Amino acid sequence: MTTYDKAHELAKALKNSDEYRSFLAAKNSVEADAQAKQMVQDFIARQMEVQYEMMSGKPEDKNKVEQLQKMYELLIVNSKAKDFVHAHMRFNQIIGDIYKIIGDSVAEGMDFFAKE
């Protein structure tokens, strides 16, 4: 079996996972509620902005973090928005874990690109 066959097998397993199905169900539910959809889009956009700033080495902006927390507190009041964000986070955790597993498995070869 080739590496590509394994990749397709992994893709199929992800697509059939409970986490992905829950994510799709939550996505369909939130898309049917314009207010919930907007809340989720605003929250995720702000969350990504804060994460990108932190990854780029900028100091944490306490005001943005507080805004993000307040947005989350409002978001979880809406069950559709809350369910979507939680399903999204669970599925993203799986994807992140898979990336880490793959990265760790080939780390020895990637050290060539590390600065000395």
* Nearest-angstrom CA–CA distance, 95 and 107: 18
The residue ranges of every structural domain in the chain are 18-104
pLDDT for position 114: 73
Per-residue pLDDT tens over the stretch 58-67 = 888 899 999 9
Place of tokens 């996972």: 17
* Nearest-angstrom CA–CA distance, 10 and 20: 13
Residue 112 reports pLDDT greater than 80 = no
For 92, how many CA atoms within 13 A lie in the half-sphere containing its CB? 7
* Nearest-angstrom CA–CA distance, 45 and 63: 16
Q: How confident is the model at residue 111 (pLDDT cuts 50, 70, 90)?
A: confident
Is the CATH number of domain 18-104 1.10.3720?
no
CA dihedral 47, 53, 57, 62 (to 10 degrees): -70
Per-residue pLDDT tens over the stretch 43-82 = 999 999 999 998 898 888 899 999 999 999 999 999 999 9
Helix spans in the chain (H): 3-15, 18-31, 34-55, 62-75, 79-105, 107-110
